[in-house]
Amino acid sequence: MSDLSEVKIFSGENSKYIAEKIAKSLNLDLGQKTLLHFSDGEFATSYDETVRGDHVFIVQSTFPPSDNLMELLMMIDAAKRASAYKVVAVIPYFGFARQDRKDRPRVAIGAKLVANLLCAAGVDRIMTMDLHADQIQGFFDIPVDHLYGSTVLAPYIRSLKLENLAIASPDIGGSKRANSWAKFFDSGLVICHKTRERPNEVADMKVIGDVEGKNVVIVDDMIDTAGTICKASSILKEKGALSVRAVATHAVLSGKAYENIEKSALDEVIFTDSIPLHQECSKIKVISVADMFAETIRNVVEHRSISDHFIM
């Protein structure tokens, strides 16, 4: 066991649930800080203990994005001004990651803007998981440890011992991810082709590939309104799939997502705890990534490889 006496773990307000588990896995106490709110909506953050010369890890998923991102930026700035040795932002869910390019005229590239803000605040390293687009790593000029939820999700699927397994992508954009899963499980690959008339609403969907008599697992990086996943599960069942499960790293689950999943043809939906659930759903299972992040933090401090978390 290494000496982590100069390592301190702090958390943003909405990520204490996972930060506490990460700290416990490292046999550390979660650092103490204060967040003051003012009547006009402004807030101020401060550390209640010294961080001078320490390796400071700040755990904060940026969902909902705006306030959580601002709190993270202020915590980074406060740690730098308090003479922390290194400041690492641990962002299990990286908000604004869907804005990684100009997909239509006169729009911002939100992911690049967030990267610029984090670097301007003085962060020394980013630790995150399953970015919506891998190229976001290149938006930073500092080290980015990009972990994969498949490290904990794939073993769970394997434990189910599903026969005639087929991996499905909910859209063309996720085909690379689904192909990696299909190679890992040595299974068939199915692609769902969807068209949209407006954001978060699927107009039409077609299935490319044979699913009759198959146990299908749909893989994605996140599930938002769950409209795509639920429509895909219904079509897959109609085409003869024995069972349909969905695996996604980030449970964004906005709007009527919980209701949509509960009423869908899905047998099970598996998430990590990068984002906390806000209500119960009988079809949802959550697998924690706290130990994975804790091990990565230890390896970063000890200057050891983290490649064990890149199984796909």
| Catalytic center residues | 194
Q: For residue 185, report the phi and psi dihedrals to the nearest 5 degrees.
A: -95, 0
CA 300 remoteness from chain centre = 20
CA 215 remoteness from chain centre = 25
Crossing angle of the two packed helices 150-159 and 175-185, in degrees rounded to 10: 50
- Measured CA to CA, the distance from residue 118 to residue 110 in angstroms comes to 12
241 closest CA partner among 203, 275, 214: 214
Helix (H) or strand (E) holding 262: helix 257-263
Q: Are strands 188-198 and 165-169 parallel, antiparallel or unpaired?
A: parallel
CB 255 within 8 A of CB 268: no
- Measured CA to CA, the distance from residue 80 to residue 89 in angstroms comes to 12
Q: In this structure, what DSSP letter does residue 246 have?
A: E
